[in-house]
Amino acid sequence: MSERMMAVVTGGSRGIGRAIAVELAGGGYDVAITYKTNEQAAAETLRLIEAAGGQGEALRFDVGNAAEADEKVEELLGRRERIDVLINNAGVTADGLFMMMPRQDWNAVIDTTLQGFYNMTKPILRKMVRKKRGCIVSLSSVSALVGNRGQANYAAAKAGIIAASRALAAEVARLGVRVNVVAPGLIETDMTSGLPLENIKQMIPMARIGRPEEVAKVVRFLCSDDASYITGQVISVNGGMF
């Protein structure tokens, strides 16, 4: 891969992550995506990255697993002189009422989203600080801002992303690194395919479900020099839902 601008997108094989990877590729980035299981979907994302004008790389590991993440990120950093952008997108759901929620469902969601944030951000941030330039955008959710029944684990993880990002933004603002959050509402992805979408539309002032590309364009803006004075912020992309 050439030494063009470089972005890393976790959970980039499908949905919002794929849309972000393709959007950044169209903006002049080479893009490394992470994925956990779906090799075919990851290959399709790489094809789309290349079609958009970028060069792609797929890294298969669990961002919530510290040992796996340490190994794969270390390998990536050894190959790349620079990492300009990190997108913390990887996340899972395991919905259920809190009183009946198994510990493994709580841990699975927290590990992928919040532990994944730590596992990916800490090593990449060090390289950004050395270069005195970088942008980190993490994906939260409307669930972090509005209490959704049956999503205590997901809401906790996504709210943690917001709090951690605000604190980190204050720590590294003078070191040339910007840290922001995008909080999507209901977006057309595999994760939302089983929801009663027609009923939920009635809760959205724009009366429609969002598209992954609409989230991706906001992420691309936050990564650009046009957003050079924006850090520590949470941008909601939810059609007015909240």
As annotated, the active-site residues are 154
Q: Let me know how long the chain is.
A: 242
Q: Closest by alpha carbon to 215, among 223, 203, 205?
A: 223
- Give the angle 41-43-44 at the CA atoms, nearest 5°: 65
Which residues share a beta bridge with 235?
182
For residue 48, give the 3-state DSSP assignment.
helix
For residue 55, give the 3-state DSSP assignment.
coil
Q: Give the distance from CA 41 to its chain's centroid.
A: 17
For strands 85-88 and 56-60, give the pairing.
unpaired
Which residues share a beta bridge with 34?
59
